[in-house]
Amino acid sequence: MSFTLGSIVFLSAGLFMGWSLGANDAANIFGTAVGTKMIKFRTAATICSIFVIAGAVISGAGASHTLGQLGAINALAGAFAVSLAAALTVFGMTKQCLPVSTSQSIVGSIIGWNLFAGVSTDPVILYKILSTWLFAPLLGAVFAIIFYCAINFILNRVEIHLLRLDNYSRIALVLAGVFGSYSLGANNIANVMGVFINVSSFGDIYIKDLFHISGIQQLFLIGGIAISIGVITYSKKVMLTVGTNIFKLSPVTAFIVVLASSTVLFIFASEGLKMWLIERNLPSFPLVPVSQSQAVVGAILGIGIIKGGRNVNFKILWKIAIGWILTPILSLMISFVLLFLVQNVFMQNVFLK
Amino acid sequence: MKKLFINRNKELENEIEVYLLSIHNATLTFNEGVGDYVKNNHKRFQERIDKLIDIERQADDQLKDLKYKLYKYNLIPDFSGDVLALLDSLDDISDASKQILIQLSIEKPNIYDYLKDDFIKLAETSLKCVETLLGGVRGFFSNSKAVEEIVNRVYFYEAEVDKIEEVLKRQIFNTEITIELSERMHLRYFINKIAQISDTAEQIALKLSIFKLKRNI
């Protein structure tokens, strides 16, 4: 993929996907902190932008590789249609106020491409991905319960002045935000740029022997920048909504939620952690893009459960279940229709035989 | 980023402590003032009034500064409302203390000898009630487990004040000494006023136990 006008147009679908991801998902990391004015939006947006890009470029390859195994899209126009279908599904479902995951929509789109191109979908990879959708909120809840108990144990034994606790909470929220942004970039860049990997023609760049950036990393850098633009341009509104209207979290519980959901994203994205676990003969986690929003909802439910089940809104679980079924089916169908249009109306090759 | 970690909280923590000391000084001065009035130490009584006016003014300034900083730097956003309500209520105690001493100096009620001990006891028990409450407020800030027990002690002292108040009123209205009804009512007015300090402390203690529950994560 050289920088022709055509390639930029094709890549724009991925950039749109990145922009929506940044606009929506940054609120999962900094929503409460910004909504409750613990952290200024400018600080949150700066931290989020920098570490999303870092996570995407440094650790984005693992989850993208799994998506590639699900469907190795081999034509630029096909990647465009798949990416656009996923982005439109996210956009449409968000408009209808339905919970949506970019991870689920991209998977549905890729399967749509597999069907259109007559490529079989690997059931093992598909099962691996589907199981993580169930595990992500569950793990989010488990981590939140563990972190909640640990922090509660400490706070009940150490008499910390309310004002000092406030200061520690701000620092903790910033650090959790750094971790959350890095994990988001590492895990979710696959949703934004994963489908373009096989059709990317970015060459590796070497600056003497000191610096090397691969073609995939360049692609992820562009995707990361698109996410950052989404964070800077549109996430404030979403953050204020999350922080003040939907979840009434205290700064300490907000920290727990961000830490728990970010840990979920991290373990499903980190190749280093996977290798470390394998070397020690421990069970490892598949590297799969997972929904941060669902990990966050899982974490909040976890806290609700440990607090005695009060205020747990089980309707949210229903909504997630509907999202699980609706999102991939919708994006699969849109992907199929778009691929048909791009191939037959715009006369572009959407797959290579 | 550097601004983010400027520790204004430590500064505010010290200022809250200074404010609590001012409230304590105000009630100590009030107690001494009542004692001086009852014992007819007029010169010292006037000094106590002047001192209490000064302390109360300082406490007001400190409270204004605390409010300003809490909002300007958006410190403890989820608790600032509770903290300000708490600190504002404490100001009512110092304000009431000042008003009682000033009114004593203006209206000069005659405290009969047989009432003096109980009058002093009423002020002393009110002081104990407020001192206990201040311990509870400090406990709330430091997340001490003792808050509930302290709140219970505030209730106890408030009940003691009520008992002394009742004894005093019975002594005033059931005495065989010839006292005008207007004078009896005048004395009752001051007894009510002094007893109101512990009533205020009790109300703050109730708020405190609710705020403490809210502090749990």
Half-sphere exposure of A30 (CA within 13 A, CB side): 36
Query: Which residues in chain B have their CB less than 8 angstroms from residue A40's CB?
Result: 4
Q: What is the predicted ipTM?
A: 0.81
pLDDT, mean over chain A: 87
Asked if residue A25 has pLDDT above 60, the reply is: yes
pLDDT grade, residue A311 (50/70/90)? low
Q: What is the mean pLDDT of residues A333-348?
A: 94
CB contact under 8 A, B76 and A171: no
Q: What is the mean pLDDT of residues B62-72?
A: 90
Query: How does DSSP assign A119-175, residue by residue?
Result: PPP-HHHHHHHHHHHHHHHHHHHHHHHHHHHHHHHHHHHS---HHHHHHHHHHHHHH
CB contact under 8 A, A250 and B217: yes
CB atoms within 10 A of CB B6: 11
Does the CB of B74 have a partner CB in chain A at under 8 Å? Answer: yes
CB contact under 8 A, A161 and B13: yes
CB atoms within 10 A of CB A232: 18
User: How far is residue A81's CA from residue A344's CA, in Å, rounded to a whole number?
Assistant: 13
Query: Which residues in chain A have their CB less than 8 angstroms from residue B77's CB?
Result: 36-38, 251
Query: Which residues in chain B have their CB less than 8 angstroms from residue A176's CB?
Result: none
Nearest to residue B126, comparing CAs of B88, B147, B96?
Answer: B96
CB contact under 8 A, B140 and A152: no
User: How far is residue A255's CA from residue B97's CA, in Å, rounded to a whole number?
Assistant: 44
Name the token pair of B192. 């009510």
In chain A, the residue whose alpha carbon lies closest to the alpha carbon of B2 is A43
Min Cα distance A100 → chain B (Å) is 29
Torsion angle in degrees (nearest 10) through CA of A324, A330, A336, A338: -130
> Percentage of residues in chain A with pLDDT exceeding 90?
42
The residue ranking higher by pLDDT, A201 or B124, is B124
Q: Provide the pLDDT for residue A3.
A: 55
Partnered with residue A206 across adjacent β-strands are A212
Asked if residue B166 has pLDDT above 80, the reply is: yes
Q: Provide the pLDDT for residue A232.
A: 93
Name the token pair of A156. 């009940």
Query: Which residues in chain B have their CB less than 8 angstroms from residue A155's CB?
Result: 143, 217
Alpha helices by DSSP H, chain B: 8-38, 42-72, 80-107, 113-141, 147-174, 181-215
Nearest to residue A164, comparing CAs of B14, B1, B85?
Answer: B14
Contacts of B202 (CB under 8 A, 6+ apart): B129, B154, B155, B158
Q: Provide the pLDDT for residue B99.
A: 96
CB atoms within 10 A of CB A353: 6
In chain B, the residue whose alpha carbon lies closest to the alpha carbon of A155 is B143
DSSP 8-state assignment for residue A197: G
Does the CB of B20 have a partner CB in chain A at under 8 Å? Answer: no
Asked if residue A231 has pLDDT above 60, the reply is: yes
CB contact under 8 A, A163 and B75: yes
Mutate to test the interface with B, among A46, A147, A153, A161 (most CBs of B within 10 A): A161
Query: Which residues in chain A have their CB less than 8 angstroms from residue B143's CB?
Result: 155, 159-162, 165
User: How far is residue A2's CA from residue A335's CA, in Å, rounded to a whole number?
Assistant: 25
Does the CB of B170 have a partner CB in chain A at under 8 Å? Answer: no
CB B169 within 8 A of CB B188: yes
Chain segment A44-75, per-residue pLDDT in tens: 999 999 999 999 999 988 888 888 888 889 89
Answer positive or negative: Cα dihedral of A211, A217, A219, A224: negative
Q: Provide the pLDDT for residue B153.
A: 96
Contacts of B149 (CB under 8 A, 6+ apart): none
Chain segment A130-170, per-residue pLDDT in tens: 888 889 989 999 999 999 999 999 988 888 888 888 889 89
Q: Provide the pLDDT for residue A116.
A: 95
Q: Which helix (H) or strand (E) holds A211?
A: strand A211-213
Partnered with residue A207 across adjacent β-strands are A211
CB contact under 8 A, B78 and A250: yes
CB contact under 8 A, B217 and A171: no
Min Cα distance A253 → chain B (Å) is 7
Asked if residue A29 has pLDDT above 60, the reply is: yes
Query: Which residues in chain A have their CB less than 8 angstroms from residue B7's CB?
Result: 167
Q: Provide the pLDDT for residue A181.
A: 95
pLDDT grade, residue B72 (50/70/90)? confident
In chain A, the residue whose alpha carbon lies closest to the alpha carbon of B17 is A161
> Percentage of residues in chain A with pLDDT exceeding 70?
93
Q: What is the mean pLDDT of residues B175-180?
A: 82
pLDDT grade, residue A2 (50/70/90)? low
pLDDT grade, residue A241 (50/70/90)? low
Query: Which residues in chain A have their CB less than 8 angstroms from residue B73's CB?
Result: none
Nearest to residue A60, comparing CAs of A201, A206, A197, A188?
Answer: A188
User: How far is residue B38's CA from residue B34's CA, in Å, rounded to a whole number?
Assistant: 6
User: How far is residue B72's CA from residue B61's CA, in Å, rounded to a whole number?
Assistant: 16
Q: Provide the pLDDT for residue A99.
A: 67
Nearest to residue A44, comparing CAs of A230, A182, A178?
Answer: A178
Residue spans of the domains in chain B: they are 7-215
Does the CB of B143 have a partner CB in chain A at under 8 Å? Answer: yes
Nearest by CB to residue B141, choosing from A36, A151, A161, is A161
Min Cα distance A160 → chain B (Å) is 5
The residue ranking higher by pLDDT, B63 or A313, is B63
Q: Provide the pLDDT for residue A33.
A: 83
Nearest to residue A191, comparing CAs of A349, A75, A52, A28?
Answer: A52
Chain segment B106-122, per-residue pLDDT in tens: 999 999 999 999 999 99
DSSP 8-state assignment for residue A39: S
The residue ranking higher by pLDDT, B177 or A238, is B177
pLDDT grade, residue A115 (50/70/90)? very high
Chain segment A293-307, per-residue pLDDT in tens: 888 888 888 888 888
Answer positive or negative: Cα dihedral of B99, B105, B111, B117: positive
CB A324 within 8 A of CB A104: yes
Name the token pair of A137. 């909120």
Q: What is the mean pLDDT of residues B163-172?
A: 95
Mutate to test the interface with A, among B78, B80, B86, B214 (most CBs of A within 10 A): B78
Asked if residue A246 has pLDDT above 70, the reply is: no
In chain B, the residue whose alpha carbon lies closest to the alpha carbon of A164 is B9
Asked if residue A223 has pLDDT above 90, the reply is: yes
User: How far is residue A185's CA from residue A89's CA, in Å, rounded to a whole number?
Assistant: 21
Asked if residue A200 has pLDDT above 60, the reply is: yes
Q: What is the mean pLDDT of residues A215-233?
A: 93
Partnered with residue A205 across adjacent β-strands are A213
Does the CB of B140 have a partner CB in chain A at under 8 Å? Answer: yes
Residue bearing tokens 């959350």: A180
Q: Which of A14-28, A116-130, A202-216, A251-265 shows the lowest mean pLDDT across its residues?
A: A202-216
Does the CB of B19 have a partner CB in chain A at under 8 Å? Answer: no
Nearest by CB to residue A151, choosing from B7, B78, B217, is B217
Min Cα distance B13 → chain A (Å) is 6
The CATH code belonging to domain B7-215 is 1.20.58.220
pLDDT grade, residue A243 (50/70/90)? low
Query: Which residues in chain A have their CB less than 8 angstroms from residue B11's CB?
Result: none
CB contact under 8 A, A163 and B142: no
Nearest by CB to residue A159, choosing from B12, B75, B142, is B142
Q: Provide the pLDDT for residue A242.
A: 59
Min Cα distance A245 → chain B (Å) is 14
Q: Provide the pLDDT for residue B164.
A: 97
